[in-house]
Amino acid sequence: MEKKNIDWANLGFGYVKTDKRFVSNYKDGKWDDGALVSDATIAISECAGVLQYSQACFEGMKAYTTEDGHIVTFRPDLNAQRMEDSCKRLEMPAFPKESFVDAVVKTIEANSEWVPPYGSGATLYIRPFMFASGPVIGVKPADEYQFRVFATPVGPYFKGGVKPLTLRVSDFDRAAPNGTGHIKAGLNYAMSLHAIVTAHEEGFDENMYLDAATRTKVEETGGANFLFVTKDNKVVTPKSNTILPSITRRSLMTVAKDYLGLEIEERTVYLDEVKDFAECGLCGTAAVISPVGKIVDHGKEICFPSGMSDMGPITKKLRDTLTGIQMGHIEAPKGWLKIIK
Ligand code: PLP
Ligand code: COI
């Protein structure tokens, strides 16, 4: 198979139009069979539910080329389940989980020339998403929906690759108690745009959001969950029902325990105790696990002992093991890799 002629090593995290995308429509109470199409544009009613009331959700996953030349994707069943959970909360019709995985597989297969080669540092990012396509003017769920999957080759999410990041503690909240923080609704990201633009203007890479109710507990960033490492090498991640249940984070906790033999803990993490951790990382499909070097809380600096030039040693082991599993040179737990071809 010929690969596209792309400078894979210098790709950023951006949109590149690829050859095919999967489209399925929901009408009269059912999903159609769906098909791969070439047209990357969408024509919908000016009154579509997504345009008026932001009724939309999405997923993010990746396809990888393994060391022995296969194309694989990572735990797609968990993305299918999470999209179903998002749909339920947003009064959208769930897309059947087997059909979700099938649509992802078809999209990757049809764009296999765009899957970056092994060792290039790039991956194919897969974006399944659903939106209300039918018109609504009263505030209510639409009657018609579209589910799509497209793919785009990407490099690192954060400029500078794996250089430690600087975060600020945000004065903006990302999610309300009993709100939509635990699902992957587009509206959560619209909410976070002002916070990220102003963070960048002030020289920060990302925001650390706190729980909106008490502003004492660590939640997550705009696009990733937190992992911390204690001075005695325990891996700790915040437990909260207003953060997105990251598939990468859940996988890294398994890696920490079963592959690296580390103690793990999912619990409330208070902002006050962050200064005592040895390492900090952001984990997600896009972020993989990106090291955090410094967090600034209204002028007060929290500097992790791992420093601003390298990843902490445990963060690095976690990253190497997870990417080793995804690239096929470390044996994956049963069911984690879906071989596409
Ligand atoms: N938290 C938020 C807000 C995200 O957008 C993402 C990205 O998907 C994550 C966490 C990480 O989740 P996952 O590891 O499933 O990609
Ligand atoms: C992902 O990691 O897949 C996400 O959806 C996060 C987004 C900020 C790119």
Shared-domain flag, residues 299 and 173: yes
What is the structure's pLDDT at 341? 92
Q: With 90 as the cut, is the pLDDT of residue 162 above it?
A: no
Task: Examine residue 339 and state whether it is found in any structural domain, yes or no.
Answer: no
Catalytic residue at 184? Answer: yes
Can you say whether the dihedral through the CA atoms of 88, 94, 97, 100 is positive or negative?
Answer: negative
Would you say 180 and 190 are in contact if contact means Cβ atoms under 8 Å apart?
no
The token pair at 143 is 């009657």
Kindly report the average pLDDT of the chain as a whole number: 97
At 26, which CATH number? 3.30.470.10
Closest ligand to residue 156's CA: 2
Q: Ligand 1: distance of its center to the CA of 1 in Å?
A: 32
Shared-domain flag, residues 229 and 111: no
Report the pLDDT averaged over residues 222-229: 98
Report the pLDDT averaged over residues 206-222: 98
What is the structure's pLDDT at 160? 73
Task: Examine residue 330 and state whether it is found in any structural domain, yes or no.
Answer: no
pLDDT tens digits for range 110-142: 999 999 999 999 999 999 999 999 999 999 999
Closest ligand to residue 249's CA: 1
At 283, which CATH number? 3.20.10.10
Report the pLDDT averaged over residues 315-328: 96
Task: Examine residue 334 and state whether it is found in any structural domain, yes or no.
Answer: no
What is the structure's pLDDT at 142? 98
CA atoms within 13 A on the CB side of 99: 16
Q: With 90 as the cut, is the pLDDT of residue 237 above it?
A: yes
User: What CA–CA distances, in Å, run from 322 to 118, 138, 330?
Assistant: 15, 46, 8
Q: With 90 as the cut, is the pLDDT of residue 44 above it?
A: yes
Report the pLDDT averaged over residues 245-266: 98
User: What CA–CA distances, in Å, run from 252 to 48, 187, 290?
Assistant: 39, 27, 13
Q: How many domains does the chain have?
A: 2
What is the structure's pLDDT at 85? 98
Which is the catalytic residue, given 184, 294, 317, 338? 184
Would you say 259 and 252 are in contact if contact means Cβ atoms under 8 Å apart?
no
Report the pLDDT averaged over residues 15-31: 98
What is the structure's pLDDT at 189? 97
Task: Examine residue 285 and state whether it is found in any structural domain, yes or no.
Answer: yes
What is the structure's pLDDT at 159? 80
For residue 285, the ligand 2 atom closest to its alpha carbon is 2
What is the structure's pLDDT at 276? 97
From 149, 150, 157, give the residue whose CB has the most ligand 2 atoms within 8 Å, as the site to mutate: 157
Ligand 1 interacting residues, C-beta cut-off 6 A: 60, 220, 223-225, 244, 246-249, 284-285
User: What CA–CA distances, in Å, run from 86 to 61, 81, 103, 128, 237?
Assistant: 16, 9, 18, 12, 22
What is the structure's pLDDT at 169? 98
Q: Ligand 2: distance of its center to the CA of 286 in Å?
A: 5
Q: Ligand 1: distance of its center to the CA of 58 in Å?
A: 11
Q: With 90 as the cut, is the pLDDT of residue 2 above it?
A: no
User: What CA–CA distances, in Å, run from 166 to 77, 228, 265?
Assistant: 33, 15, 24
What is the structure's pLDDT at 256? 98
Where in the sequence is the domain holding 254, given as residue range(s)?
Answer: 165-324
Q: With 90 as the cut, is the pLDDT of residue 59 above it?
A: yes
Task: Examine residue 335 and state whether it is found in any structural domain, yes or no.
Answer: no
What is the structure's pLDDT at 161? 72
For residue 251, the ligand 1 atom closest to its alpha carbon is 14
Question: What does R_g of the chain's alpha carbons equal in angstroms?
Answer: 20
By percentage, how much of the chain surpasses pLDDT 90? 97
Shared-domain flag, residues 213 and 318: yes
